[in-house]
Structure 1
């Protein structure tokens, strides 16, 4: 069966519905949901139920849209206060770490290409290209695993891992594109030109991303639209404009939208709740779509020929290339313990991004590109199974896990950014009521008021004479303290 204009809506809906239902079951067994989305795509594909999808260009286009949304949404959720202490190690990992992983893995691939019992014969530059496509940790996988499991880690490891995964895709993308250009042209690798291209992409990506973020905040806060639902759509259009303009100016669009997301997420923003809800739903939708698409694109029977060599490369990346790169990059940062470095090494997840990047050699018609694609896909599955299913357990074994922090309040009430106040909830105990059980007897800090009382399933609008009971939950609103000049 092939996709047509008449059946694509039905088939697509069935695929998405199947993915969601299967992911609910898999979550109970600690299986990463994104892995299940890939598997569903493979089950419905050419070697499964027979859906025919073979367009690498369409998959690349869908991946580009999905990655733009995922990176922007991830940037929005990244808070300056969280990443400030880990900014330097995060940036080093996302740049030098990617380069070291590429060099180590590429050298290993080139070395095993000469073995009699391996079925790959790749020249040095093609070996480096294969390594470059897989050199970054996947932002979708890392964000999804850390946030869906509400994982909290010691030594600020969670924000560092999220910063690395959100900002290292541009480096892998640039290395992939540059190596494709060199191989296609037949010229030797010129490190001066490579360095120049990297600087240009980082410069325009950073500058345009920052400018677009500031402009987006100003526009959303100033423009008066008739319907609040239009604000997230307005912002989404600015994300795509930012990506496209940056790409046209030879900058890195993925870096630009990630920085744009950070600027927007850390500013005062009108209709933040509407925008966040919309972006979170859209991120989940495109994560499902891109993993399904990539699962449909691959022909599983073709991976049998490269399974042994891909297993060898994947194990080398997990046990050697990634740990060596991480330990070298984090060497100057003495405060990080060896356990922390080991955990960061283990969270070298591969996901949709390497597979999307592996479509670029296919479209560029690099010799052996289909073999490269199958190797990348196999290693992605290996990474999601081995690393993705063991991240939480590894954190516990290394004693790096912390109790999950509660997000929001139990009342489900949120305040817009324009109100410079914060909401918290408090559960009353018998000890708290010893000096009086009326609300008027409660000694609350100055600038704090009780908005609502929840007793069992009943909500009570309070007054000073309300009698309180142990177990009552109070919704408190407090003024944010002004910083002293």
Structure 2
């Protein structure tokens, strides 16, 4: 650790770890292994037990980095979530995020009591730590996949909103273990206060962030993404300081920001995506460094980990999904997929540092088994999700992404915006040429991407389904423009 305190050594190792992390994403698809597993492997290999380049055992620092990374990852996942897709699945997602976590915790706790030979409170603590679906793992695995929107939205909303329940249960159990006189009823009341404050501050600070992004005229376009990210950190900090759920607040605020009309929208999205990837790499590498393979890969941990992983994947999660979504319109195939896609990731490992720092008896065993369970989940579930969706016929149309993303550098000062829009097959203007479309005065189609080819538009250019239009328009005309683009073709026109 003394060598790591030297700035040049620290910077060099950070650069090496980030480069290795980025390179692993290139090979993860070819190997059929989720990149998150490879990130952890990089940390484990670089650690003291194998190559011995870095000795790291600071659980407190790992916890701080993990929480910071989760804030950034939740923020990026939230701003990418479309409200139109999320709205129909709010009820089942919240049910999975609360009732589902409680059921998973209870079933795993029974197994942990038998397999790990812990006390009841420690067993429930273990169940709480692995009870939630991990946002980082789910967002990374589903990104770019053509899973049906309803199923994908359910998983993303569940993973984005169930961390507060897992954090609360973990902290509550540690308090009951370390402070025997703690009141269960007080802790239950605290849960509702935390969730309520998280929702409230998420809404308020999300609205404030939208106002700030649109009203404050910054000198550099690069400051807008920084400003948005700073609001994510501010949202967590204020909410957590006032005893609310900071992670819930960040996710709620991010959904508001992502679905609002904001300046430099694409810049904010691209920056957040890159920053989230960097934090994922850093977080999983750090967590890989924190574990010692010589302690993890023993027959004792292997047998206990395999047993608990099997119960979690094949019993606890399916039972929780089935009971949490009864009469909510999910088919048998969809329930199977939701059960299998309940990935574990960084959150359980970060939560496993809580009992370590609190000095809970058996915390070393809990940490190692949790890490093994997470590794098993990422390897087995993460590498089979896409194939399972295809076999269950739960894949939608292939996601198409435009080759180019354009945005004016002088956007804020010019009070204008360049935005992209994908034409749907049933749009009213499909089949019409540009001269026939009553665009607002001053609105200009600068480019059209059609089947991967750039087309320079003219007045006679005909709009076709799947076209990506890049439109320059005054910000005040954007709603009118979107109304024209989104208008559906009438039956008489279709015929």
TM-score range relative to shorter protein = 0.7 to 0.9
Tell me: CA distance 1:227–1:105, structure 2 relative to 1, closer, same or farther (3 Å). Answer: same
1:338/1:455 CA distance change after superposition, 3 Å: closer
Map 1:428-439 onto structure 2 (within 5 A).
none
The aligned runs of 1:34-45 (5 Å cut-off) are 34-45=36-47
Change (3 A) 1:457 1:58: closer
CA deviation string 1:121-149 (max 9, x = no partner): 300000000110111111011001101x4
Taking the aligned partners of 1:131 and 1:457, their CA distance within structure 2 comes to 48
Q: Please state how far the C-alpha of 1:392 moved relative to its aligned partner.
A: 0.5
TM-score by length of 1: 0.88
Contact 1:422 1:480 in 2 (8 A): no
Selected match of 1:309 from 291, 304, 310: 304
Distance 1:126 1:362 in 2: 12
Q: Secondary structure at the match of 2:393?
A: coil
Aligned residue number for residue 326 of structure 2: 331
CA displacement at 1:414 relative to structure 2: 5.5
Residue in structure 1 matching 2:196, options 203, 209, 214: 203
Tell me whether 1:130 sits opposite 2:126 in the alignment. yes
Out of 396, 401, 406, the position equivalent to 1:402 is 396
User: Which stretches in structure 1 are left out of the alignment for 5+ residues?
Assistant: 113-119, 434-438
The CA distance in 1 between the partners of 2:160 and 2:468, in whole Å, is: 38
Aligned to 1:352: 346
TM-score norm. by structure 2 comes to: 0.86
Offset at residue 150 of structure 1 (A): 2.4
Q: CA 1:421/1:452 → structure 2, altered by over 3 Å: closer, same or farther? A: closer
The residue aligned with 2:475 is: none
| SS class of match (2:383) | coil
Report if aligned partners of 2:132, 2:159 keep a CA contact under 8 Å in 1.
Answer: yes
Question: CA 1:201–1:413 in 2, change beyond 3 Å: closer, same or farther?
Answer: same
Superposed CA offset, 1:42-87 (max 9, x none): 1111111112000000000000110011111111111110011111
Give 3-state SS (helix, strand or coil) of 1:423's partner.
strand
In structure 1, C-alpha distance between the alignment counterparts of 2:447 and 2:210, rounded to whole Å: 32
Cα distance change of structure 1 residues 453 and 255 upon mapping to structure 2, 3 Å threshold: closer
Q: Which blocks of at least 5 consecutive residues in structure 2 are unaligned?
A: 472-479, 488-495
Matched, 1:16 2:18: yes
Where in structure 2 are the equivalents of 1:79-90 lying within 5 Å?
A: 79-90=82-93
Aligned counterparts of 2:214 and 2:353: Cα–Cα separation in 1: 39
Indicate how the Cα distance of structure 1 residues 274 and 450 shifts in structure 2: closer, same or farther if over 3 A, else same: closer
State the Cα deviation string for residues 6-60 of structure 1 (Å, max 9, x = none).
3111011111111222331222122111111011111111111112000000000
The equivalent of 1:4 in structure 2 is: 5
In structure 2, relative to structure 1, the CA distance for the partners of 1:410 and 1:131 (3 Å cut) is same
Task: Report the RMSD for the aligned CA atoms in angstroms.
Answer: 2.9
CA pair 78-209 structure 1, distance change in 2 beyond 3 A: same
Provide closer, same or farther for how the CA distance between residues 376 and 479 of structure 1 changes in structure 2, counting only shifts above 3 A: same
Report the equivalent of 1:374: 368
Q: Distance in 2 between matches of 1:31 and 1:474?
A: 33
Q: Secondary structure at the match of 2:61?
A: helix
Q: 1:418 to 1:452 in 2, by over 3 A?
A: closer
Matched-pair contact (CA < 8 Å) for 1:420–1:479: no
State the number of aligned residues: 459
